[in-house]
């Protein structure tokens, strides 16, 4: 297990530095416009390979450089060839492919035994319960809140950004869920106060909108706290 982390962490750091720290807007624009005709694409791939090789410090394994550089070149070329490479789905697929390469390198270097050892060491039951809690707090909880507040939403209407309220609710419930699991109930109070200032300040002249937002917020917080407590008891 220590060997796995000694390889995995440097490879992840190398990827994050390459894609999010050392990559400039000039490089992104040049790669998107010219793709394989841009020298920046090859420089970017070379940086990815060099960092992976240097940070792992496994000097005899030269293929770490070549595998990382070549796959980075191919994956980024695929992304830039899409009609809209800036789309969120394309970005997520791009990052997923890079992570799969990193996972593949770990298995290649250490063998399948490392994967088996990691799987056996994982607290599968606890992880499953946390995932279940997060999934419940996403769309199912939002659906329940939407149904419970339906008659009020019809009365106040909506001037918000499309889908913004949904994602605010999802993120706040996941944060509260994490706070409950970490036994940080004070942080929930700070989150509620912060949301109150941001949301109620903009609708202070509209009592019915304020009441609707307050009901939705309290429902969202209550559901998240209850799910968090139930999962905590099950762990």
pLDDT of residue 14: 95
pLDDT (average), residues 208-225: 77
74 and 34 part of one domain:
yes
> Which of 74, 91, 121 lies at the terminal end of a domain, its last residue?
121
The closest of 13, 14, 38 to 26, measured between CA atoms, is 38
- Distance, in Å, from the CA atom of 126 to the CA atom of 39, rounded to the nearest integer, reads 47
DSSP secondary-structure letter at 36? G
On whether both 145 and 115 belong to a single domain, the answer is no
CA 98 to mean position of chain CA atoms: 15
Question: Looking at the structure, do residues 135 and 116 belong to the same domain, yes or no?
Answer: no
What average pLDDT does the segment 61-71 reach?
96
Q: Determine the structural domain holding residue 106 and report its residue range.
A: 2-121
- Residue 65 CB coordination number (10 Å): 18
Q: How far apart are CA 43 and CA 20, in angstroms?
A: 15
Provide the number of structural domains found in the chain: 2
Same domain as 66, residue 132: no
Helices vs strands, H then E, count in the chain: 12, 0
Is the same domain home to 184 and 208?
Answer: yes
Q: Is 55 found in the same domain as 138?
A: no
Tens digit of each residue's pLDDT (9 = 90 or more) over 124-159: 788 888 888 888 888 788 778 777 777 766 666 655
Compute the half-sphere exposure of residue 107: CA atoms within 13 Å on the CB side of its CA.
10
Cβ proximity of 121 and 1 under 8 Å: yes
The tokens describing 209, both together, are: 């909108």
User: Counting beta carbons within 10 angstroms of the beta carbon of residue 119, is it exposed (0 to 12), middle (13 to 18) or buried (19 or more)?
Assistant: exposed
Kindly state the tokens that stand for 112. Answer: 């399948």
Q: Looking at the structure, do residues 13 and 90 belong to the same domain, yes or no?
A: yes
**187 has a pLDDT exceeding 80:** yes
State what percent of residues in the chain have pLDDT above 90.
Answer: 29
Which pLDDT does position 55 carry in this prediction? 95
Tell me which of 99, 121, 143 is where a domain ends.
121
Mean pLDDT of the chain: 83
Q: Are residues 57 and 139 in the same domain?
A: no
Q: Where a domain ends, among 93, 121, 149?
A: 121
The two tokens of residue 220 are: 């969202």
> Are 15 and 45 within one domain?
yes
10 contact partners, CB below 8 Å, separation of at least 6:
52, 55, 56, 57
DSSP assigned state of 20: I
SS3 content of the chain, % helix, strand, coil (to 5): 85, 0, 15
Residue range 75-128, pLDDT digits in tens = 999 998 887 877 888 899 999 999 999 999 999 998 887 777 776 777 878 888
- The answer to whether 67 touches 37, Cβ cutoff 8 Å, is no
Q: Check residues 61 and 218 and name the one with the higher pLDDT.
A: 61
């Amino acid at each position: 297990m220590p060997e796995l982390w000694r390889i995995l962490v440097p490879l992840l750091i190398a990827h994050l530095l390459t894609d999010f720290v050392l990559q400039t807007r000039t490089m992104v624009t040049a790669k998107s416009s010219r793709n394989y005709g841009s020298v920046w694409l090859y420089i970017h791939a070379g940086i990815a390979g060099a960092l992976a090789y240097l940070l792992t410090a496994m000097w005899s394994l030269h293929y770490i450089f070549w595998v990382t550089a070549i796959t980075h070149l191919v994956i980024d070329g695929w992304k830039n060839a899409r009609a809209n490479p800036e789309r969120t789905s394309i970005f997520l697929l791009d990052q997923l492919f890079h992570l799969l390469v990193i996972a593949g390198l770990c298995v290649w270097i250490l063998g399948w035994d490392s994967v088996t050892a990691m799987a056996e060491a994982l607290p599968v039951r606890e992880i499953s319960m946390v995932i279940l809690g997060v999934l419940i707090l996403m769309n199912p909880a939002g659906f329940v809140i939407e149904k419970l507040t339906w008659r009020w939403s019809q009365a106040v209407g909506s001037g918000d950004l499309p889908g913004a309220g949904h994602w605010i609710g999802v993120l706040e419930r996941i944060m509260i869920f994490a706070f409950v699991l970490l036994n940080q109930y004070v942080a929930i109070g700070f989150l509620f106060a912060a949301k109150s200032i941001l949301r109620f300040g903009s609708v202070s002249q509209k009592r019915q909108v304020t009441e609707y937002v307050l009901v939705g917020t309290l429902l969202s917080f209550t559901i998240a706290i209850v799910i968090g407590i139930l999962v905590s008891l099950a762990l």
